[in-house]
Amino acid sequence: MRNRVTLLFLVAALTALGSAFSGAPARAEKVVDPSTVAPEFREAAEKRRAEQVKLIECNNAAKIAKIQKRELPQFVAECFDKPADKP
């Protein structure tokens, strides 16, 4: 039983190390490209892309502001809900 627990721990640790040192995130969502979507779905794809870009910008702002992980969801939600600055 003890060998099995040790083996499971080792596998979990190696998996975590592998994903930590890989170049890309394990479950990254692609940013939608409206030009590759069927014409009838293009408007929805453009809206989704705008949401994704804003979310990426909010996450980058959180990194720059060095927001702690426990405060990250609130910061991103507030940033996402702010109206976009229009010149």
Which of residues 81 and 14 earns the better pLDDT score?
Answer: 81
pLDDT for res 68: 94
Token pair listed for 54 = 């804003």
The Cα–Cα gap between 76 and 56 comes to: 10
pLDDT for res 13: 53
pLDDT for res 17: 47
pTM here is 0.60
pLDDT for res 87: 46
pLDDT, one tens digit per residue, over 36-76 is: 989 999 999 999 999 999 999 999 999 999 999 999 999 99
Q: Report the b/e string of 14-49 with b at 16+ CB within 10 A.
A: eeeeeeeeeeeeeeeeeebebeebeeeeeeebeeee
> What is the end-to-end Cα distance of the chain in Å, rounded?
66
Q: What is the largest CA-CA distance in the chain?
A: 66
